[in-house]
Structure 1
Amino acid sequence: MPNDRLRDAILRNGMTPALIAEKIGVDPKTVERWITQDRTPYPRHRHAIAAVVRESESYLWPGAVTPEKASRLGQNEVVQLYSRRSSVPYELWRRMIDMAQERIDILAYAGLFLVEQDPRLIDTLRQKALDGVSIRILLGDPDRPAIERKSVEEGAPGVMAAKIRQVRQYYDRLEGTQGVEVRYHDTTLYNSIYRFDDEMLVNMHVLGFPAPHAPVMHLRRLSGGDLFSTYADSFDRAVMVSYPIGREEVAA
């Protein structure tokens, strides 16, 4: 059975099996066997390939990394744990945004603080998109019951929907920019996720506490780890059930 994940990752990065073989120092026929016969490379080769194609070992070879090892690696993916989001240094947010070269993913209800703490954010995101960075922003649908329930749980009825509509005024300025998607979701958020290439800030949601007062994990992806990929998969699931923001609402 062929390893379609490995084949797709190689092609997606504009490479060939022969080029992969050259980069990691093996025979091209060996790489072909890894793909067509789904043979598992030695760990040193798995590490090298995963780094070249920017995918995790656990994704390319699900059976190669034991759950125990993936769990240990996942623990090492935690760079820092902040007791509350308001403790995360602004410089860290700015560095991750500025350094992103492939993707910026945001999953939140509103995330208004991002544009409030950085008036240049919209211009920065527009330039990032023009430079080829994929930008996906998922906001809570202010007309859905879950949003008002969240506001009530935080003791501020109506506030969350108002924040979403306010942040929309900023993100509307990105409309028409190639590479930028701003969509709605109505999923139950257990965490807000802010991904910048292989780094991520995960803002946990705690019942009765506004997001600025809830903990944040700073994660950095490691090949073979499973913690970063868990939240990356969660974001992808939210994308699958998200939907475009209606133009009629924008006009209103």
Structure 2
Amino acid sequence: MGLLEGKRILVAGVTMDSSIGFATAKVAQEQGATVLISNFGRALSITKRIAKRLPAEAPVLELDVTDPEHLAGLADQVREHVDGLDGVVHSIAYGNPETLLGGKFLDGPWPDVAQAVQVSAYSLMSLAQATRPLLTPGAGVVGLTFDATVAWPAYDWMGVAKAGLESCARYLARDLGPHGIRVNLVSAGPLRTLAAKAIPGFSDLEDMWSTRAPLGWDNTDQEPTARAVCALLSDFFPATTGEIVHVDGGFHAMGA
């Protein structure tokens, strides 16, 4: 029996098969879950093609987490495929690389910063609220972050947005805990995803891990991160919420 046998999981924000979201959907299916995935806009057609590469083709829902109508209709979309959810994965982030990343912190314009915070942090609450009518007691909400406790080269305003995400997860854990819903994050090391490739100077981050992660770090392997997400969605962490689990080869625990 798999770790997620019989569970119904929504993975929001799957584009390419190199993404953490895709890897999570794959591992979840391998562990026995029924998986739904989502995307929106021009990327939706890509996601529909990518869905065929999963062990079992997953239904693809249209969801823009900044669109109130999409959020209001999400529960009905989900109910077309399953009658409830045991887990939700927030694999969503965006910051304009031309204005917010790669050493542009002091010049980041507010409209772009606001968009990054809404898409990358506020949307965790939006997604949790939109799916809350479907979530069963004991359900898990898991998001993905990149350590926001320090300032990183090149990451700039996305680091601020991730700090917001991490704080949002703690407040959600507080408010959803009485309803039996757990909220946790996985903090992954740098991975060569589509989003990472858009960050100017991303190689500077990758280089740090090659020398300082005691377990080593493969920046092309999303599976360790996906496994951690699935573990947090499982029944093996029934009393864990408001937590950030690091999957970074141990980098976060090392000094300079």
Length-normalised TM-score, structure 1: 0.36
Length-normalised TM-score, structure 2: 0.36
Which structure has the higher relative contact order (CA within 8 Å, separation 6+)?
1
Q: Highest CA radius of gyration, 1 or 2?
A: 1
Larger relative helix fraction? 1
